[in-house]
Amino acid sequence: MFKLDIAGVKVIFSKFFAVGDREAVLAAIPQGTRRVVFIDTPATPHLVATVESLVSMEIEAVVRDHHNVSNPRNSREQEIHDAANHVRELIGGNATISNRQAHPACSGLIKVGEFADEGTVIVADPDPDGLTAAMKAVGVTYPELGSDAAVLDGPRAGQSAETLSPAAWTFVQAMATLPPFNSERPAISEEAKGKLFSEFAAAATGDTAALDSLNRKVEAYEAGVREAEAIATTATESVTGVVLVDTVGKHRLDLATLAAKMEALPGCKVTVVRKDNGPIAAKHGGMQFSLAVIKAHQAEVNLQELLAPGFVSSPEAGIISNTTFLLHVSEAVWQEMVLPALKAKFA
């Protein structure tokens, strides 16, 4: 978790994976707060518990999110669906919980400056979609924000100078230079991300010093591109249609470039990146497998179907998945569950 001040409004960036996340967010809400707005925060039991706490304190809660599932196909989707309904029961019309098909970016659920008034605290997901939606909520915007946000919340391979505004493309390049998350010293990556988010928000308002700072990170990004291009040449296909690369020890690489190179390989349907950073790696011996279904095959491949019924999505469980086309797992879950399921599916 980290906190920023954007246009005079306190913005807390946090996930809701565990009880500790709820406790940290509630502790960060200052006395005298009249309203807390949750943006791009998937409905989970921990989000529900946070909203319940606010309601009990007579603080108005608002939710704007796009992770709902209209027709759940597995227990995980059912959990999200049920939690979303629970939130609606708690706060009624203050809950606007859509889906990615209707609203590719959460900024589409918010009016410019809608939550800029005094006494409001915003809690957003710590990713570019959460940031851009929070910016719009407090009145910080620019012409391409909506289209940028949709691209930024999509596959990394789709993020380029051709699909993003110059400022957002610079932001993507700068994001690639962030230090990996380390659960033993989380402040390092969180502070770096907080500074980067703050610079992007300032640059969007015309702050030249912030834009210059972002531009200085481009050189490091370009080095990461070269590293990604080299790693992509080592890709293997142990399962038909599933392309895997090992990035262990290679922290300065551009993931968007790596994803694009992998997806371009003949027959690729699913990309897998073995890495030694990320929330699951921090909890499971320093190793994580991140899977993504390329856009052309997202209708036919559901990664959540590779998991056991009733799976729990949390770093502690070794599984993180809020959508059917993205999945992060521990090495044990990969070896014992996901890899055999992939072999059975694509045999």
Q: Residues 48-103: pLDDT tens digits?
A: 999 999 999 999 999 999 999 888 888 878 888 999 999 999 999 999 999 999 99
According to the model, what pLDDT value does residue 255 have?
A: 84
pLDDT at 4 over 80: yes
Q: For residue 8, what pLDDT band results from cuts at 50, 70 and 90?
A: very high
Identity of the residue numbered 345? K
For range 176-199, the mean pLDDT: 86
According to the model, what pLDDT value does residue 71 have?
A: 86
Torsion of Cα atoms, 107 then 112 then 118 then 119, to 10°: -30
Determine if the pTM surpasses 0.85.
Answer: no
What the chain holds in terms of domains, given with CATH numbers, is: 2-153 (3.90.190), 229-346 (3.10.310.30)
Neighbours of 181 (CB within 10 A): 16
**Per-residue pLDDT tens digits for 128-156:** 999 999 999 999 999 999 999 999 998 88
Mean pLDDT is lowest, of 7-11, 171-175, 261-265, 324-328, for 171-175
Distance of alpha carbon 138 from alpha carbon 124, whole angstroms: 12
For range 20-33, the mean pLDDT: 95
Q: Where are the alpha helices (DSSP H) in 17-108?
A: 19-28, 45-56, 75-91
pLDDT at 180 over 80: no
Task: Residue 326: name the closest of 257, 270, 247 by CA.
Answer: 270
According to the model, what pLDDT value does residue 178 have?
A: 86
What is the Cα 162 distance to its own chain's centre? 22
According to the model, what pLDDT value does residue 66 have?
A: 96
According to the model, what pLDDT value does residue 237 have?
A: 94
According to the model, what pLDDT value does residue 176 have?
A: 81
